[in-house]
């Protein structure tokens, strides 16, 4: 079966396209990334274990889904000792408002929570509950 000129040209164009894809820079590396740390939130509210809810609201980019990763760091104090841990937490699905919410579980009244958010937007932190 012979290859006609159109098929030869098509194969040549496909090879050129593959070569261009191999040498072009990826646009994602041009995105500016931010790392934000929240103020310290003292949990309070009793002696039992409970959960606290936090919100990161970007300074701009509202009304859309945003690329933001959040991680809590809890400073616990007991019997004169202090230590930092990353507790059990859940980042809630975004609702399209631009804000990102998370729930931190198993906190007691003496715990202090700081949240680190990294992503494409700077913003502010709020404790919801």
Average pLDDT over every residue of 58-78: 89
The answer to whether position 109 is within a domain reads yes
The answer to whether position 92 is within a domain reads yes
The answer to whether position 70 is within a domain reads yes
pTM: 0.73
The answer to whether position 46 is within a domain reads yes
Structural domain for 108, as ranges: 28-127
The answer to whether position 16 is within a domain reads no
Average pLDDT over every residue of 2-28: 76
pLDDT at 29: 65
pLDDT at 26: 56
- Residue 115's Cβ-count burial label (10 Å; 0-12, 13-18, 19+) is buried
The answer to whether position 5 is within a domain reads no
Query: Considering its fold, how many domains does the chain have in total?
Result: 1
The answer to whether position 11 is within a domain reads no
* Strand ranges, E, within 24-99: 34-37, 41-42, 50-58, 68-78, 81-85, 89-91
- Residue 38's Cβ-count burial label (10 Å; 0-12, 13-18, 19+) is buried
What is the 8-class DSSP label of residue 103? E
Gyration radius from the chain CA atoms: 24
Average pLDDT over every residue of 27-49: 82
The answer to whether position 6 is within a domain reads no
* CATH number of the domain bearing residue 101: 2.60.40
């Amino acid at each position: 079966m012979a290859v006609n000129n159109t098929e030869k040209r098509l194969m040549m164009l496909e090879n050129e396209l593959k070569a261009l894809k191999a040498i072009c820079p990826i646009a994602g590396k041009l995105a500016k990334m931010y790392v934000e740390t929240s103020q310290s939130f003292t949990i309070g509210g009793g002696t039992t274990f409970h959960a606290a809810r936090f919100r990161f609201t970007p300074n701009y980019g509202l009304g859309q889904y945003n690329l933001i990763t959040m991680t809590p760091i809890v400073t616990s104090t007991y019997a004169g000792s202090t230590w930092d841990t990353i507790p059990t937490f859940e980042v809630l699905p975004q609702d399209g408002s631009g804000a990102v919410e998370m729930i931190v579980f198993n906190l007691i009244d003496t715990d202090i929570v700081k949240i680190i958010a990294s992503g494409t937007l700077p913003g502010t932190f709020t404790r919801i509950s």
